[in-house]
Amino acid sequence: MNSNDIKTVKSLLNTSKSIVIVPHKNPDGDAMGSTLALCKYLNSQGHNATVVAPNEYPHFLKWLPGHEDVIIYNATTKAAIEKIERADLIFTLDFNHLSRTGDMEQALTKASADFIMIDHHQQPADYAVVTYSDTSMSSTCEMVYHFLDALGVADHIDADIASCLYTGIMTDTGSFRFPSTTAVTHKVIAELITAGADNAGIHRNIYDTNSYTKLQLLGVALQNLQILPEYKTAYITLSQKELDDHKFQKGDTEGFVNYGLSLEGIIFAVIFIENKSEGIIKMSLRSVGDFSVNEFARAHYEGGGHTNAAGGKSDLSLEDTVTQFISILPRYKDKL
Ligand code: 5GP
Ligand code: MN
């Protein structure tokens, strides 16, 4: 953040404000960790801050400090809209365009509040009075740490805030293994453990709370894994029936796509997940190296994200989506 932005933020937070903090739709560890951390800090300073999420978040995040107070827009829409209408200030965290909030976009567009964006995705939209965007950052949680540090209040990070921030850095870096993990990331992590983040406990909460049916679903996903060696590509499909047969809960398929990338010689992996209620095939795309899944998802699947991790969707059937995907690959032969 430049010194002008820091000045603007300080003056916006100078008096007690009604504040709404928004993560993206289908919030992940980074989105929930960053919003809850910022929320706790702002409330400790006398503001009236609330996290309003577009929809539900995975069960493995339902231990994060403060999560009980999150308002879910698509479950309690009236309460969410009231909060947004009354807000003086709206922070949008871990996304780059208001359309990433799904149906909530309309309410946010109408809001009279000032916006502050903190995000690490590419191509940030221009709706905020302060846009703290840095695509080189490991996670929005790391950015919230730098944000608080820039305001001179890093010493206000208590064990709860530290746990939230640790969670998002851990999940967005694949437990500190992606190239976005820098020496500074590790220094921030060290500060968070010093502030009281229980690193071993957080890893257990996130990764070791699987249900039996989720592991069985992983088995199905691995059986469905297909390899296209010519394009160094692997993909997985999961139909609505396969999800239903395994009592699918939100978050159960998190990380499945990475198994494709773990294959030797594979640099592009995709998972196609049927969502009958939304009438779409939701896709997660991953790559290693220079092949940009952000560009691929933008070009073909109304999506986006980062160079090596992106999402998108298709309105075709599961079968047709896969056929169409395979038909696109020859155009990328020189990049794969
Ligand atoms: P995931 O595959 O884990 O859902 O998401 C990977 C990355 O892509 C995340 O940074 C996420 O925010 C982003 N992403 C996921 N779905 C979409 C989408 O539909 N549109 C855009 N623009 N980004 C997405
Ligand atoms: Mn993120």
Q: What is the mean pLDDT of residues 169-194?
A: 97
Among all bound ligands, the one having the nearest atom to the CA of 311 is 1
User: What is the position in ligand 1's atom list of the atom closest to the CA of 285?
Assistant: 2
Helix boundaries (H) for the chain: 3-12, 29-44, 77-86, 105-110, 140-150, 159-172, 183-194, 199-207, 212-224, 240-245, 257-261, 293-300, 318-328
Distance 229 CA to ligand 2 centre (A): 30
Delineate the domains of the chain, giving CATH numbers in brackets.
3-207 (3.90.1640.10), 212-332 (3.10.310.30)
Identify the three-state secondary structure at position 179.
coil
CA pseudo-torsion sign 192, 95, 221, 72: positive
Task: Determine whether the shortest distance from the Cβ of 58 to ligand 1 is under 6 A.
Answer: no
Tell me the C-alpha distance between 282 and 275, whole Å.
7
Q: What is the mean pLDDT of residues 43-51?
A: 98
Q: Which tens digits make up the pLDDT trace of 230-278?
A: 999 999 999 999 999 999 999 999 999 999 999 999 999 999 999 999 9
User: What is the position in ligand 1's atom list of the atom closest to the CA of 94?
Assistant: 12
Residue 206 contacts residue 175 (beta carbons within 8 Å): no
Q: Which tens digits make up the pLDDT trace of 58-110?
A: 999 999 999 999 999 999 999 999 999 999 999 999 999 999 999 999 999 99
- Give the pTM: 0.95
Tell the residue nearest (CA) to atom 12 of ligand 1. Answer: 305
Per-residue model confidence (pLDDT) at position 79: 98
Buried b or exposed e, range 186-220, using 16+ CB within 10 angstroms? eebbebbeebebeeeebeebbeeeeeeebeebbeb
Q: What percentage of residues in the chain have a pLDDT greater than 90?
A: 100
Tell the residue nearest (CA) to atom 3 of ligand 1. Answer: 284
Out of 22, 28, 137, 268, mutate this one to test ligand 1's pocket (max ligand atoms within 8 Å of CB): namely: 28
Nearby residues of 176 by Cβ (< 8 Å), 6 or more positions away: 169, 170, 185, 186, 189
- Name the region of 292 (left: φ>0; alpha: ψ -120 to 50; beta: rest): beta
Identify the three-state secondary structure at position 236.
strand
Buried b or exposed e, range 69-108, using 16+ CB within 10 angstroms? ebbbbeeeeeebbebbeebbbbbbbbbbbbebbbebeebb
Task: Determine whether the shortest distance from the Cβ of 304 to ligand 1 is under 6 A.
Answer: yes
Task: Determine whether the shortest distance from the Cβ of 284 to ligand 1 is under 6 A.
Answer: yes
Distance 138 CA to ligand 2 centre (A): 8
Distance 327 CA to ligand 2 centre (A): 30
